[in-house]
Amino acid sequence: MPSATARRAPTADPYDDTDVVDARAPRFLQATVGVGAVTALLTGWWWLYGLLSLQLVAGLVLGRRWCLPCVAYFRFVQPRLGEGRVEDARPPRFANKIGASVLGLAFASHLAGLDVAGTALGALVAVLALLAAATGLCVGCELYKLAARLRGVRPGAVGALDLAEVGGAPGRRPAVAQLPDVTVVQFTHPLCSDCHELEQRLAAGKRPLVLVDVSRRPDLARRYHVTLVPTAFAVAADGRVLERLA
């Protein structure tokens, strides 16, 4: 019999709150892709690579309602297990783009008669997808973070932050005029599990905390190179970023 926690409605709507995702959903999708790729390898049904690629593209372009494994997870699995940790959807979305591209190349390779290349690409997808499903290690997600660092988004990359601007963002506390020498600015999302945990830790400290909701102020997230939430900075009174805390 499902527990009360499992029956509780999820905090993040799977189809409307697309900037975050239940962390179990990408793993379920990776398991589906991995099983499909293994089936193609064992049976020689290389056309499955094309179908899997189309499914990923449909979900990326048209939304999660067009992604059959996503619908299956949110319709049948999540109601029984309950909502998992809610996290930033950008890394798994980037991983899906890579998966769709490699699966598309595998399909195209077989179509062109390059069976060895198609098999190798299909095997690569199978291994990485099943690895992500089994362990949570998402290579595509790590590539997203690496790409962010290559673009200059790394600790110390943000030199200054306008306290008056972020202090006027929703959820600030306290007013900027009252901020002392060092203020902590956290970029957050109201549905993000890790954001809430970090906020509690930072709020327990002695320095005041200013919250910036990236769902309402995506312009500030872009300006300050926030590629993942939660992200937090220690900021001096003159706006200098002293430290990237998270």
pTM: 0.80
Q: What is the pLDDT of residues 39-53, one digit of tens each?
A: 999 999 999 999 999
Q: Residue 18 in contact with residue 63, Cβ under 8 Å?
A: yes
Q: Which amino acid is at 8?
A: R
SS3 113: coil
Mean of the per-residue pLDDT values of the chain: 86
What is the reported pLDDT for 3? 47
Quote the tokens at residue 175.
């007013």
Which runs of consecutive H residues, i.e. helices, occur in the chain? 4-7, 24-43, 47-62, 68-72, 78-81, 90-111, 115-135, 139-150, 163-167, 193-203, 218-223
CA distances from 47 to 21, 104, 205 (A): 29, 10, 56
Q: Residue 225 in contact with residue 149, Cβ under 8 Å?
A: no
What's the whole-number mean pLDDT along residues 203-223? 87
What is the reported pLDDT for 8? 57
Q: Give the pLDDT band (50/70/90) at residue 167.
A: confident
Judged against a pLDDT cut of 80, whether residue 217 lies above it is answered with: yes
Question: In the beta sheet, which residues pair with residue 241?
Answer: 235
CA distances from 16 to 12, 63, 92, 191 (A): 8, 9, 17, 12
Judged against a pLDDT cut of 50, whether residue 87 lies above it is answered with: yes
Judged against a pLDDT cut of 70, whether residue 135 lies above it is answered with: yes
Q: Residue 95 in contact with residue 26, Cβ under 8 Å?
A: yes
CA distance 126 to 87: 24
Q: What is the pLDDT of residues 168-197, one digit of tens each?
A: 433 344 444 444 578 899 999 999 999 999
CA distance 143 to 162: 30
